[in-house]
């Protein structure tokens, strides 16, 4: 069964703190993605990675960085958290093979920045 896990369900951080969100998948998928989800705006892609040590910017990368040192693990880093980064963060993974690109999501991390 497909499984994507995220390190925390809820996080509360202070403005200026460095925040790490971790995602692990056990499906041997090449692609991994980080989204944020806000009411009325839907899911917006922050970064994605199609291979180890590879990364590409999504639609809203400002204020974020990512790391992918192992195939199964993709980390999202908020270098200096700000209140406008309060959101639901969702990780997903998929195969890179054409017509097999269904993305499977983790349970999400709800981040509150005070």
DSSP string for the chain = ---EEES-SEEEE-TT--EEEEEEESS--SEEEEEEEETTTEEEEEEEESSTT--EE-S--TTEEEEEEETTEEEEEESS--GGG-EEEEEEEE--STT----EE---EEEEE-
Closest approach of other proteins to the CB of residue 80, in Å: 26
| 61 in contact with other proteins (CB under 8 A) | no
Part of the chain binding other proteins (CB under 8 A), chosen from 12-20, 62-70, 73-81, 102-110: 102-110
Closest approach of other proteins to the CB of residue 92, in Å: 8
- Applying CB under 8 A, the residues found at the interface with other proteins are 4, 31, 33, 40-43, 45, 48, 50, 56, 58, 90, 92, 94, 96, 98-99, 101-108, 110
């Amino acid at each position: 069964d497909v499984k994507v896990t995220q390190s925390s369900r809820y996080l509360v951080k202070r403005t200026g703190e460095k925040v790490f969100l971790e995602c692990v998948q056990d499906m041997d998928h090449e692609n991994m993605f980080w989204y944020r989800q806000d009411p009325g705006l839907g899911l917006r892609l922050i970064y994605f990675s199609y291979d180890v040590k590879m990364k590409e910017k999504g639609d809203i990368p400002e204020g974020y960085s990512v790391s992918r040192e192992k195939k199964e693990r993709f980390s999202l880093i908020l270098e200096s958290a700000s209140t406008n980064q309060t959101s639901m963060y969702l990780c997903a993974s998929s195969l890179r093979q054409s017509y097999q690109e269904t993305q499977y999501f983790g349970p999400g991390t709800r981040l509150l920045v005070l």
